[in-house]
Amino acid sequence: MIKKILGKKGLFVLFLLIDVTCFSQNKSERPANHVILISIDGFRPDFYLEEKWPAPNLKQMVKDGVCAEGVRSVFPSVTYPSHTTIITGALPAKHGIFYNSPFESNGQTGKWYWETELIKIPTLWHAVKQAGMKSANFRWPVSVGAPVDYNIPEVWSLEDGYGRIQPMRDHEFPKGLLAEMEQEVLGKMNERTFNGDYLNREDRIGEMAAYVLEIYKPNFMTIHLTATDHFQHEQGREGPKVYTSLAASDRAIGKIIESAERSGILENTTFVVVGDHGFVNIHAALSPNVWLVEEGLMEDSKDRGNWKAAFHTSGASAFLMLKDPKDKATLQLVTKKLNSLPEKYKKLFKIVDRKALNEIGADPNAMLALAPNPGIAMSSSTNGDVLKKRAGGTHGYFPDFKEIETGFVAWGAGIGKGKEIHHMRLEDIAPLIRHLLNIDFETPDGVLYKGILERE
């Protein structure tokens, strides 16, 4: 009947109007048109809850938005599995990024989980693209080849002398994006102007994100700031450079906020600032592979030699791998060795069995894990003293104590004002972003805390 009344041309116009109307309704139903997801590596709640820390932008966001007293990480509480949990709403057992570096049977080459194709389930990037919206990324972990419109991934080469900037150019999208930003805002990028041993890298990343937000206005941005992690490893939780690195991260966030204001989108933009783990000061390192060498289960060599069992260290913890996962005899031998250790060693860690690993969503390939006490870290060393001196700070612990918790701050469109969440988990961040952008996206392990949202 409609076709008879309108004819072909009129029907086409009607369908076009319906399509535009539906798009407008979907857009208007979104609490935010732009979500800026910023990760501060090694982000601690005290950075915004305690007066002594120099973070004026973050503290203003806390005052005008929502923060958490603490956020539970994953196990191990290290960067790559944590960031993948944030971007998927799933624990490592489901998303497949178990550590920073995958366990390699013939010895560790130094490779990390760089490629998005290694993630076993869809990410927020996929959902944003499927919804017809645009996204941007600046050095978020596991982002090489991500379905992102403007992408500068975190990646480096294992080749000597290749540097860390050229690999980003090799994997950028679209080609020429970095050169465009160099010309418009950054200046020439090199090992002097973009160096993780100094704070200029935070400035450059903030300028990249600010430029792309102002010029291209993507709906979703992921940004990874890393200086606070670097200097906490080097100097511990209270090192002088931890203060200056936090100030640099806060300054980068301020640049992005200003770009949203300049481009006229600030009122429709939400900023979500997250972390991946806390930090713990350490004084010693334990080398459980030394025990396996003693038992003849692996060799003291880079490729592990003729091995049956090996501990894969990730941050502070160590995960037991078997060459043959069905080798129950070797597993029993390792368990017997651990149980027969002198008490002076046994008191330094707890054994996380397979049931507990399942409950926390850790690597399904590990037979068990060793989770050290705060202050102790695990080392991959296969020789020398079992217990060695260590300084600085680290993470990777079983996430069941305060120091290893990370932070959360949300501010802007769709977010309540002056609210505090007692406790949440990394997998609960993706549901919030799903809601803010009103996209179709399944978060297998995360839930939306509606108390974060602005009252309608």
pLDDT of 25 over the 90 cut: no
Domain boundary among 340, 361, 390: 390
* pLDDT over 70, % of the chain: 94
Q: Which of 31, 358, 42, 382 is nearest to 196 (CA)?
A: 42
**Which pLDDT band, with edges at 50, 70 and 90, does 2 fall under?**
very low
Is 24 among the domain residues?
no
Residue 26 above 60 pLDDT?
A: no
- Which CATH number do you get for residue 344? 3.30.1360
Report how far residue 32's alpha carbon sits from residue 414's, in angstroms, rounded to the nearest whole number.
6
Is residue 263 located within the same domain as residue 406?
yes
Percent of the chain with pLDDT over 90: 91
pLDDT of residue 161: 76
Last residue of a domain, one of 344, 362, 390: 390
| 360/434 same-domain check | no
Split into its structural domains, the chain has a count of 2
Integer Cα distance of 412 and 224 in angstroms: 20
Report the largest interatomic distance among the alpha carbons of the chain, rounded to a whole angstrom.
90
424-431: average pLDDT:
98
Task: Please tell me whether residues 175 and 210 are part of one structural domain.
Answer: yes
Q: Give the C-alpha distances (Å, rounded to integers) separating 169 from 75, 151, 158, 220.
A: 32, 10, 15, 22
Query: Among 336, 369, 390, which residue terminates a domain?
Result: 390
Residue 13 lies in a domain: no
In terms of domains, do 47 and 111 share one? yes
Q: Above 50 in pLDDT, residue 16?
A: no
Span 96-113, mean pLDDT? 97
Contacts of 340 (CB under 8 A, 6+ apart): none
Confidence of residue 4 (pLDDT cuts 50, 70, 90): very low
Residue 47 domain flag: yes
Closest Cα partner for 150 from 190, 129, 126, 177? 177
Q: Give the pLDDT confidence of 142-163 residue by residue, as tens digits.
A: 999 999 999 999 999 998 878 8
pLDDT tens by residue, 81-99: 999 999 999 999 999 999 9
The pLDDT confidence band at residue 8, using thresholds 50, 70 and 90, is very low
Predicted confidence band of residue 29 (pLDDT cuts 50, 70, 90): confident
Q: Are residues 433 and 366 in the same domain?
A: no
What pLDDT, in 10s, does the model give residues 208-249?
999 999 999 999 999 999 999 999 999 999 999 999 999 999
- The predicted pLDDT at position 6 comes to 39
CATH number, residue 407: 3.40.720.10
Per-residue model confidence (pLDDT) at position 20: 35
pLDDT at 163: 80
DSSP strands (E only) in 174-254: 220-225
Distances (CA, A) of 436 to 29, 61, 315: 9, 17, 33
Structural domain span for residue 300:
284-390
Mean pLDDT for the stretch of residues 255-279: 98
Distance CA 347, CA 10 (A): 79
Q: How far is CA 1 from the centre of its chain?
A: 55
Domain co-membership, 312 together with 272: no
* pLDDT surpasses 80 at 3: no
DSSP notation for 21-39: HHHHHHHHH-S-SEEEEEE
Asked if the structure places residue 1 within a domain, the reply is: no
Q: What is the pLDDT of residue 456?
A: 53
CA distance to 15, 61, 232, 422, per residue, from 66 (Å) = 42, 8, 26, 11
Q: What pLDDT is recorded for position 28?
A: 54
User: What's the pTM?
Assistant: 0.93
Question: Any idea how long the chain is?
Answer: 456
Tens of pLDDT, residues 279-318 = 999 999 999 999 999 999 999 999 999 999 999 999 999 9
- Give me the amino acid identity at 433: I
With contact defined as beta carbons under 8 Å apart, do 100 and 113 qualify? yes
Across residues 156-179, what is the average pLDDT? 93
d(C-alpha 278, C-alpha 395), whole Å: 7
Q: Is residue 10 part of a domain?
A: no
Cis-peptide into 31, omega within 30 deg: no
For residues 297 and 411, state if they share a domain. Answer: no
Helices (H), 268-386: 289-294, 328-339, 343-346, 354-360
Backbone angles phi, psi at 154, to 5 degrees: -85, 115
Both 359 and 383 in one domain: the answer is yes
d(CA 149, CA 291): 49
Mean pLDDT calculated for residue range 340-345: 97
Residue 22 has pLDDT above 60, yes or no: no
Q: Considering the chain, what is the average pLDDT of its residues?
A: 93
Are 348 and 241 found together in one domain? no
Say how far apart CA 107 and CA 97 lie, in whole Å.
18
Burial of residue 310, with CB atoms counted within 10 A of its CB: 0-12 exposed, 13-18 middle, 19 or more buried: buried
C-alpha span between 3 and 173 (Å, rounded): 44
Q: Write out pLDDT tens, residues 309-334.
A: 999 999 999 999 999 999 999 999 99
Q: Are residues 162 and 219 in the same domain?
A: yes
Instruction: Report the pLDDT value the prediction gives residue 455, as an integer from 0 to 100.
Output: 72
351 and 415 assigned to the same domain: no
pLDDT for position 160: 83
One domain for residues 67 and 174: yes
